[in-house]
Amino acid sequence: MTGTNLVYDWNCWLWSQSLGGTAAVLPLPNPDCYDDAPVVNPVDGRLAFHNLNQNGDIRGLYVTTPDLSSKQKIPVINNPSWPAWSPDGHWLAFVDGNNANSAFSADNGNNLWVSRSDGSSLSQISGFSDGINRFPHGAIWGPDGDELVGAGTIFGTNGLWVIPLTPELDDCDGPPIRLPTKPGDAIDFAGSIAVAAAPGSIITTTQAPGLFIRETPDAVVVYWNTNFVGYALESDTNLTSRAWTQVNGPYFLSGPYFEHWEARDSLLSEKYFRLRSPGVFVLSQPPFLTIQLQTSDAVLSWPAQLSGFTLQSKSSLDPAVPWNDLLGPYPVNGVNFEYREPAASAYMHFFRLRGP
C-alpha cells in the first residue's frame, strides 16, 4: 500500500506483507473467510475486494477507508467479483456471474461492469448470455482509464481483449481488440500493464492530481497542483447524466496551484468538478486594476468575470503598514466591478487586488 507492500488474501484474512518478508493481518473489522481478491486504490490506498459468501447479506463488493478502519458494501449488482481500480482512483470495474450458492467458484465470471467506488453510475459493459463468451476473472484498466483489458472469450476466441470505453465510461466505444499472443493454453488473467518507453528513458509514476475546493466571501475556488500541467477542468450538474463539459477558465496561477473561481451569486444548487488528462487550457493573467477620476470620485474597476478578488488599500507602501480590505459586495457596471471613493481621500492611498 505504500509502494513496498503486497496485499493478498490467505486463510480467512487479508494480509499486508513487506517486500522484506514481514506479514501482518490487516486491521479490518469483522473479517470473513470469503473476503478475497483485494486491490489497492492507486491514489488514496483504499482497498476493494469481493466476498462470495453463501449468505446473501454478506456477499458483495466492499470498499475500505484509506486507514482500513472500516469497510462498506457498495450497492451494485448481485454476486460482483474481481474488482479493479481505475488509474484516477474513482471507478471500479468488476464482473458478474460468480455465484457462491451453486458450487462456489471465483472462476465463472461472465459480464463486465463499471461503477464509481460508491456504487453510483453503474453501467454494464458487455452482454454475454451464451455460456461461451465471458470474462472469468474480470478485467483491469488501461493506463489512461479509457479502456478495459481482460482475459476472456469473445467471438468464441480466448485471448487478451481490449474493450474501449466511452468518455462517460458507460458503454463500449467501438469493437473489442484482441491482442496478439503466442499459441498455448487458455489465458486466465490479465495481471498488469507496463507502458513502453523509448530506449534509455526513465519511467516514472505519479498519483493522479488532487482536486480541491475552498470558499471565499465572494467566490468558490477550484484548484489543483501545478505539477499536473495539461489536465483540463470539467464540470457537470448531474452525475447521472455524465455530461461532462470542459471549463475553459479563466485559470490563474497562485503559488503552486492552478485556480478557477466562480462567483457566489452565480452558483448552482449542485455542480461537480473533475480533472481530465490530457487537456489544453489557457492560463490567464491576473486582473488589471484601473483608476479613473470622475467629478469628485475616484472610481476603481476590474473585470467582473474574475470573481473572488478583494480590493485593498493602505496609506503607505512601507512593508510595516498592513493592507486593509475594502469589502464588497462590489456593484457591477457593464463588464466591470466598481468601487468608488471620494477623490480627496483616494489621493493619499495605494490600492491593489488580493486573490482568494
The string of DSSP letters for 107-137 reads: S----EEEEETTS-S-EE-----SSSSB-TT
Mean pLDDT of the chain: 84
pTM: 0.56
Query: Is residue 281 scored above 50 in pLDDT?
Result: no
Q: What does the pLDDT look like over 25-71, one tens digit per residue?
A: 888 888 899 999 999 998 888 999 999 988 889 999 999 998 888 99
Letter for the amino acid at 152?
G
**Per-residue buried b or exposed e for 335-345, using 16+ beta carbons within 10 Å of the residue's own CB:** ebbbbebeeee
Highest mean pLDDT, choosing among 119-133, 204-218, 339-353: 119-133
Compute the distance between CA of residue 353 and CA of residue 343 in angstroms, rounded to an integer.
19
Provide the pLDDT for residue 123. Answer: 93
User: Where in the chain are all domains bearing CATH 2.120.10.30?
Assistant: 5-178
Q: Which long-range contacts (CB under 8 A, 24 or more apart) does 56-62 make?
A: 58/32, 58/34, 59/34, 59/100, 61/92, 61/94, 61/119, 62/35
Provide the pLDDT for residue 1. Answer: 47
Provide the pLDDT for residue 204. Answer: 43
The overall longest dimension of the chain from CA atoms, in Å, is 90
CATH topology of domain 5-178: Neuraminidase (2.120.10)
Provide the pLDDT for residue 3. Answer: 52
Pick 203 or 224 by higher pLDDT: 224
DSSP state of 230: T
Provide the pLDDT for residue 68. Answer: 84
Provide the pLDDT for residue 243. Answer: 79
Residue 192, judged by CB atoms within 10 A of its CB (0-12, 13-18, 19+), counts as exposed
C-alpha torsion angle, residues 144, 148, 151, 157 (rounded to 10): -120
Pick 338 or 1 by higher pLDDT: 338
Provide the pLDDT for residue 305. Answer: 72
Residue 62, φ and ψ in degrees, nearest 5: -125, 145
Question: What is the number of other CB atoms lying within 10 angstroms of the CB of residue 75?
Answer: 12
Query: Is residue 118 scored above 60 in pLDDT?
Result: yes
Q: Which long-range contacts (CB under 8 A, 24 or more apart) does 63-69 make?
A: 63/92, 63/117, 63/118, 64/28, 66/41, 68/26, 68/27, 68/28, 69/27, 69/29
Range from 96-105, 173-182, 234-243, 332-341 carrying the lowest mean pLDDT: 96-105
Question: What is the number of other CB atoms lying within 10 angstroms of the CB of residue 205?
Answer: 9
Compute the distance between CA of residue 86 and CA of residue 148 in angstroms, rounded to an integer.
9
Provide the pLDDT for residue 140. Answer: 96
Please, which pLDDT band fits residue 229 given cuts at 50, 70 and 90? low
Letter for the amino acid at 77?
I
Please, which pLDDT band fits residue 158 given cuts at 50, 70 and 90? very high
Task: DSSP for 194-212, please give it.
Answer: -----TT------PPPPEE
Q: Which residue has the cell 496485499?
A: 7
